[in-house]
Structure 1
Amino acid sequence: MEIKSLELPAEVQKFYLDSGIEKLYPPQAEAIKKGLLSGKNVLAAIPTASGKTLLAELAMLTSISRGGKALYIVPLRALASEKFDRFREFSSITLKEGGIKVGISTGDFESRDEWLGSNDIIVATSEKTDSLLRNGTSWMEDITTIVVDEVHLLDSANRGPTLEVTLTKLMKLNPGCQIIALSATVGNAYEVANWLKAELVLSEWRPTDLMEGVFYGGNINFRGSQKLVPDASGDDAINLVIDTLESGGQCLVFESSRKNSVGFARRAGAKVSGLLDRKTRAALDGIVEQVIETGESEASKVLAQCIRSGTAFHHAGLNSAHRKLVEDGFRANLIKMVASTPTLAAGLNLPARRVIVRSYKRYDPNFGMQPIPVLEYKQMAGRAGRPQLDPYGEAVLIAKSYNEMELLFENYIEASAEDIWSKLGTENALRTHILSTIVNGFAGTRDGLMEFIEATFFAHQNDTWGIVSVVDECLDFLKHHKMLEGETHLAATPLGKLVSMLYIDPLSAAVIIEGLRKATNVTELTLVHLICKAPDMRQLYLRAGDYELINDFVLSHIEEFSEVPHPSKATDYEWFLGEVKTALLILDWINERSMDDISKVFNVGDGDIHSFADLAEWLMHSASRLARVTGHSSADMAITIEKRIHYGARQELMELVGIRGIGRVRARKLYDSGLRNIEDLRNADPVVLGGLLGPKTTEKLLQEIGSRPGIRPGSGTTGNPNSRTMDSMLGNEQSTFSDFDK
């Protein structure tokens, strides 16, 4: 089927023909025949690189040509950015005056983002989409096409319930809306398609052949054939990497842990570096400079060392800038091998000639090392084969015995992905969504609530009688904590509406409100611990040696905690110490302890620190709003701490860190040199600034603050234009657990 034969506007046809896309792949042609361009719902369960995104694009552009608006839902912020960059290429398509406009929304959960309504395509995470619905964003009713990328994540215990409820609400809000659901791996695709009332496109076709095998005995063993791999290093996985690179390909290696991915990247680098030409080495040096520029910790140096050798590692512990540098360097064929935890298998467009699953087991805290699901293996294997670049793709598992090789063939290569199941049926999952469903007016009675649940994927898979008692428990909880009121008719209280808009678990709100009520001496530590007590916060676990140190800290600050469990309740007390440990990380962050020190003391990566800080900022903002609505005096203190968490700095640096491009490290250098505000910087000798910041950064800084005639001032003093407004600032520095690493 050819592009020019499709019922598409001439501008759209021209865009794809100019891009070199003239014919559709077989699964794409099947989707067209099943009504993709005529507004029918479609679930495309087809392999990675077989054209899922093009299906979404054709549906969205067709809808826009008829005056519609499209929403593209993704699971990850990184994937949102990738799709946003792709869809911005549509600006040249003149379906309307000014071309097609694209917006992206992944941030502040309390914002309506009404400005996004002027766009034709809006890209958002499922959580952000849910929050837009909760906040009553008006343009949500104008959506005519909804694309759900990675729809198999309905099965995720963390993200699945939000995606499921969001889709259910969107289908009720826009009953005539077209839904395009995409996934590479859905075991029970028919069941998901039935729920969505969608036509199913189910295919194994790939543009690049995928060969799946097991490495054992010096060979990659496929069903019916073998491929000898020369022994270049004594390490099976490194041998596979070198073999790939020598034939002109690139490698992704999936590891069982962050530590293993870093270790393998370093070991492989010693061999890979010898295969690099001078031009590649020079380009890699440029990436290395950017890695060092955008990192504060020792991990940056390790990553830089690997990249200089042509390898890299990728996991959630890296900061976002480093992850993007690794991804872009790999796409440009400069970085030849990336060792990763499963983060790279989660939808990012990063294919390679050969995918090596070095370990098919993962650590489970309850059961030890356990085999990964087939679905996870299929996601990894699907990264093998770069369209238009590779003649084929190879996915290789590694076995230590013949019996293990046979087991891997049976349990992974020849197995089908597991069925996906709704995770909505628990109190933890339902509590927040019941509140938001009532706040949004999707239900106003208990019967109406059950009717809404009947429309979910959970009800499509299960009898709902089993969930009735859970719903009643959630309603009782919400009424007890004054978030809902009424018996026959259910209505959200002002507190309930606020909690829903803040996008926090009602249990988190209850914990914070109760903690504020009980606290007798509210300090910085009190508030930071309170948000670390909330179930929405990630928790650090106690390690050997932590108990005594943190217990001593608690005893010396006992009056600053709203509540301390009795040590005789061992489980409760250990969990409490974990909360305190998490609070200490946040306190170290806002008191400017170095990233390197925090990483070493708490055994976390740069990305983890930023992740903790993002969560803490959101929850501290929520605490300030809850304190205000309940009349507690700590609201202003919480607002101050919120801003300090955003920048990771003490109060005296707030004006400097608000300047774009001046982070907490540079701000501290300036402040300690006597340059303590924007006026000081405007009056400073550029040579002095250059000595402190470097010439390039100084030039950008001077442009930003508008210190020279003819230079228009930037938005330096406002900080992030999307950040929340701060009502007031209070400075009350407090020392943190400074001897924790001794």
Structure 2
Amino acid sequence: MNAAGLDVLLKYFPRSFVETLSKKLGINQLYPTQVEAIKSGVLDGRDIVLSAPTASGKTLVAELAMLKTLIAGGKALYMAPLRALASEKFEEFSSFFGVFGYRTAISTGDFDSDDPWLEKYDVIVTTNEKADSLLRHKARWFDKITLLVVDEIHLIGSDKRGATLEVFLTRTKLMPRRPQLLGLSATIGNLEELAEWLQAKPVRVDWRPVPLKEGVYYNGEIFYSDGSSTTLDDHGTPLYDLAYDTLENEGQILVFSPTRRSAVSDAKKLSAITVKFLKPQEFRVIREHVSRLKSVYTDKVTLELLELLSKGVAFHHAGLGLEARSAVEKLFREHLIKAVIATPTLAAGVNLPARRVVITDYRRFNVELGYYEKIPVMEYKQMAGRAGRPRYDKEGEAVLIARSLQELEFLLNEYINARPEKLQSQLASEPVLRSHILSIIATSENVRSYSTLGRFLTSTFYLHQNKDYFFVIERARSILEKLVSSGFLEVEGEKLLPTQLGVRVAELYIDPETATQGLNFFKSREKASTLAYLYMISATPDAQTVHVRRGDEEWLEEKLKVMKEELGFEPPEDDIEYEFFLQVFKTALLLEDWINEVPEDVIVERYDVGPGDIYSLTLTAQWIAFALSEIAKLSGYDVHAVNLGVLSKRIEHGVKEELLELVSLKGIGRVRARNLFNFGYKSLIDLAVAKEEELSRVPGIGKMLAKSIKKQLSSREEGEVDEEQPELGEPGPLDFYLSS
């Protein structure tokens, strides 16, 4: 397939728009992917699911489809699986659509809002969970959406997050005025089946701007899928051989390592090689980034990264803070660092191509099950798809490493020459179904009876695939009985009626079981200690917990001896339950340290986590605390409602209660707030009467921030409201952050 000119677009867009694409945006031709999508009717309003390799032009297909709907007076919603990817697309779309006079917004946080301010925007970027939340809150602008773009649509098969996307797409399918659908993915094994369910046209394109060669390294040679091979110089280890060969030919290497520990270890090993290929000017630019990051982070994990950056290599995983990860991605895209060793989270998120991609192991350790398991072919294909930098490489290479002849043959057959697995619906598991059944009944006027619920479930991808109607209906009936007994639903004959409590649980985007556990906690005690609240939050199904390391048990049990009374109950005797108890207890202790202003670097060391883990853990815990405070308020448990409301704010900011006023100001975090407090500025009134130059002398404040503080306080006095607050950053509450 060959690229085509822009003339085909004149059928759909004014000539001035086509000229703008060329002159201002530098788009002078259409890739085969875009030509095929246009031929398939994407610009004629037809629903399509497009499967095409990474970097083959899927984003421009989406942009053209969105531009077409905007010209017609519509509104476009773009859904991404991760906040990092949503942020990337927001930046890209702001530039693209801004040229044509259209406005782009992003909303990825606050799951208890319908975000009315989004009505003013033409293109809205969200995560899948936020889009589902907006639908639950019946956002009034939602029926104005005329185009729905679902990026990485293959994640409908994800065990943790797929059901949310499936239910959302089922709801949009059943809308009286359903929007046009454009699904995008690099790898879908059963494209036709997914498209048939969505009543869309399947479009598969195999063309890549940079051809991809896939192979397996064994004993000094790479054996490719086409039968050819190449011999590499011996530098001691397979990874060294592959890295030297890549860097000597002025390429970059992206290595996928199965665990965080192995990623860091591999990065340290490769630093001896990458430093040799670092030019003086590249080193100077990297040092500037390192100096800036040292002013932000002081923890062991990030300092280890910064040392490696100066040698032209980096590791990348979910434990790193946002700024550190962003710096790694920026330096690699600008070809300043030579190698990145990442956990597979990177394959699902940020666009970071390299000439050669190396997958060091086809297995991954499953922490929950306690053994190594094979990675799916689809996951391998996602990682392999990162190989080849458009405009820089004539071809890209993806290489697996074999340790024996038998493994060489296995990898060639089971990964290199294999097709991705079929996507399978994940809706049938009870915890998943329980949450979505409540949300469907509570927030959809059209599903309020056994028969309408049955019709909805019949329309899901699960029943399209399995035809197992009676199994799902029986499971649904069992779930309905539990929802009724928990007080979330009422039954009147054939009717299913949500209670006020049930509606609120659905709006708050929490598992009904989380609400039930909270209510049981409130009933069992009139008051509770902070630690008891934190333990209760950490034990809910929605919570994230930290791993208990070998050796943790001893110090955790010592802690428990002095905190048992504060906790308020005896630990379980059952071994399996006790293991979970320690995990939850350790998480509660981490959160307690956080809200008592223990420095982040101390928490990182004490609990064996990274800054990114702390962010993710606290954001989720903050949301659960807020949600349960709302449940307590609605249920008449006023003391618990107040305590959890305050605790939610403390978790959000990582401060003692005395600092909550100060951290309500933009730019004032836990460290600056404590500095202000220690200098005598203990309230907003103290700040309001203070002189700007006095504030600027407080450590960490300075002239610019002092000016900002005074301006914010002045605006509050005048009653100004900032409605539009597009949020950028990391995954939000219950956004099921993909961590390694």
TM-score (norm 1): 0.92
Letter in 1 for 2:586: K
Cα distance in 1 between the residues matched to 2:723 and 2:300: 31
CA distance in 1: counterparts of 2:251 and 2:383, whole angstroms: 17
Q: 1:516 to 1:719 in 2, by over 3 A?
A: farther
1:38 aligns with 2:41: no
| 1:662 match | 668
2:112 alignment counterpart: 110
Kept in 2: contact 1:69–1:120 (CA 8 A): yes
Whole-Å separation in 2 of the counterparts to 1:191 and 1:427: 24
CA separation in 1, counterparts of 2:621 and 2:191? 38
Cα distance in 2 for residues equivalent to 1:207 and 1:53: 14
Correspondence for 2:136: 134
Cα distance change, pair 92–426 in 1 and its aligned pair in 2 (3 A)? closer
1:255-311 deviation per Cα after TM superposition (whole angstroms, max 9, x unaligned): 010011112112212221121112111110121123222323111211111111111
Question: SS of 1:642's equivalent?
Answer: helix
For residues 358 and 8 of structure 1, do their structure 2 counterparts lie closer, same or farther at Cα, with a shift above 3 Å needed? same
Give the letter aligned to residue 709 of structure 2.
I
Kindly state the Cα deviation for residue 406 of structure 1 after the two structures are TM-superposed.
1.7
Partner in structure 2 of residue 400 of structure 1: 403
Shift of 1:2: 2.2
CA distance in 2, matches of 1:506, 1:145: 32
Specify which of 78, 83, 87 is matched with residue 84 of structure 2. 78
Q: How do 1:159-238 residues align onto structure 2 when only pairs under 5 Å count?
A: 159-173=161-175, 175-222=177-224, 223-232=226-235, 234-238=236-240
For this pair of structures, how many residues does the alignment match? 712
Q: Indicate conservation of the 8 Å contact 2:692/2:706, yes or no.
A: no
Structure 1 distance, partners of 2:237, 2:674, is 46
2:699 is matched with 692
Q: What is aligned with 2:510?
A: 504
Residue matched to 2:158: 156
**How do residues 23-62 of structure 1 correspond to structure 2 at under 5 angstroms?**
23-62=29-68
- Whether 1:443 and 2:447 are equivalent positions in the alignment is yes
Residue 420 (structure 1) aligns with: 423
SS in 2 for 1:486: strand
Residue aligned with 1:424, SS: coil
User: Which letter maps to 2:699?
Assistant: L
Hey, what does 2:327 align to over in structure 1?
325
- SS of 1:173's partner is coil
Equivalent residue for 1:454, pick from 439, 453, 458 = 458
Instruction: Please give the residue correspondences for 1:217-616 in structure 2 after superposition, counting only pairs within 5 Å.
Output: 217-222=219-224, 223-232=226-235, 234-365=236-367, 366=369, 368-439=371-442, 440-463=444-467, 464-487=469-492, 488-561=494-567, 563-564=569-570, 566-567=572-573, 569-616=574-621
Aligned residue for 1:83, secondary structure, equals helix
Q: Assess, with a 3 A threshold, how the Cα gap between structure 1 residues 679 and 619 changes in structure 2: closer, same or farther.
A: same
**1:465, CA displacement in angstroms?**
1.5
Query: How far, CA to CA, are the matches of 2:526 and 2:660 in structure 1?
Result: 29
Q: What is the alpha-carbon root mean square deviation over aligned residues?
A: 2.4
Describe the shift of the 1:427–1:563 C-alpha distance in structure 2 as closer, same or farther (beyond 3 A).
farther
3-state DSSP of counterpart to 1:390: coil
Give the secondary structure class of the aligned counterpart of 1:370.
Answer: strand
Amino acid paired to 1:481: S
Report the counterpart of residue 729 of structure 2 in structure 1: none
Paired residue type of 2:13: P
| Cα distance in 1 for residues equivalent to 2:537 and 2:133 | 20
Distance in 1, matches of 2:388 and 2:366, equals: 31
The Cα shift of 1:45 comes to 0.9
1:253, CA displacement in angstroms?
0.5
User: 2:730 is matched with which residue?
Assistant: none
Q: How far off its partner does 1:684 sit?
A: 6.6
How far apart in 1 are the matches of 2:109 and 2:695? 37
User: Higher mean Cα deviation, 372-381 or 578-587?
Assistant: 578-587
User: Residue deviations 1:44-96, cap 9 Å, x none?
Assistant: 111111111111111111111111111111100000001111110134444xx
Distance in 2 between residues matched to 1:603 and 1:176, nearest whole Å: 47
- Give the 3-state SS of the residue equivalent to 1:355 in structure 2: strand
Between 1:683-692 and 1:84-93, the stretch displaced more is 683-692
CA spacing shift, 1:718–1:509, aligned 2, 3 Å: farther
Structure 2, unmatched stretches of 5+, are 726-740
Structure 1: how far apart are the matches of 2:710 and 2:678? 22
Aligned to 1:618: 623
Is there any run of 5+ residues in structure 1 with no aligned partner, and where?
Answer: 724-742
For 2:722 and 2:261, locate their aligned partners in 1 and report how far apart those are by CA, in whole Å.
34
SS in 2 for 1:449: helix
* Matching residue of 2:710: 706
d(CA) in 2 for partners of 1:162 and 1:722? 26
- Report the CA distance shift for 1:296/1:630 in structure 2 as closer, same or farther (over 3 A): farther
1:673 is displaced (CA, Å) by 4.2
CA contact (8 A) 1:211 1:395 kept: yes
CA distance in 1, matches of 2:673, 2:308: 30
Distance 1:297 1:718, change over 3 A: farther
Shift of 1:8: 2.8
Question: How many Å separate the matches in 1 of 2:569 and 2:685?
Answer: 45
Alpha-carbon distance in 2 for matches of 1:186, 1:266: 35
- The 3 A distance-change label for structure 1 pair 685 and 118 is closer
Q: Which of 627, 636, 648 in structure 1 is aligned with 2:632?
A: 627
Q: Distance in 2 between matches of 1:100 and 1:298?
A: 44
Structure 2 letter corresponding to 1:68: G
> Quick one: distance in 1 between partners of 2:549 and 2:349?
33
Give the direction of change, closer, same or farther, for the CA distance of 1:269–1:659 in structure 2 (3 Å limit): farther
Structure 1 residues 654 and 367, CA, compared in 2 at 3 Å: closer, same or farther? closer
Deviation, 1:689, is 4.8
The C-alpha deviation readout for 1:524-563, integer Å capped at 9, x for no partner, is 1121111112100012343333334434444444444465
**Do the aligned residues in 2 keep the contact of 1:208 with 1:391 (CA within 8 Å)?**
yes
Is this contact kept in 1: 2:527–2:640, CA < 8 A?
no
Query: Relative contact order (alpha carbons < 8 A, sep ≥ 6): 1 or 2 greater?
Result: 2
Partner SS, residue 328 of structure 1: helix
Q: For structure 1, which segment, 148-157 or 557-566, has the greater mean C-alpha deviation from structure 2 after superposition?
A: 557-566
Question: TM-score, normalised on structure 2?
Answer: 0.92
Give the partner amino acid of 1:473: S
CA-to-aligned-CA distance 1:143-168 (integer Å, 9 cap, x gap): 11101100110111110000000111
Structure 2 CA distance for aligned equivalents of residues 91 and 60 of structure 1: 9
Post-superposition CA distance 1:410-445 (Å, at most 9, x none):
111101100010000111111111111111223110
- SS of the aligned residue for 1:692 comes to coil
Shift of 1:659: 3.1
**Alignment deviations for residues 96-152 of structure 1 (CA, whole Å, 9 cap, x no partner):** xxx111111100000110110111111111100111011111111111110110011
Please state how far the C-alpha of 1:654 moved relative to its aligned partner: 2.2
Residue 334 of structure 1 aligns to a residue in which SS? coil
CA distance in 2, matches of 1:675, 1:266: 45
Which stretch shows the higher mean deviation, 123-132 or 653-662?
Answer: 653-662
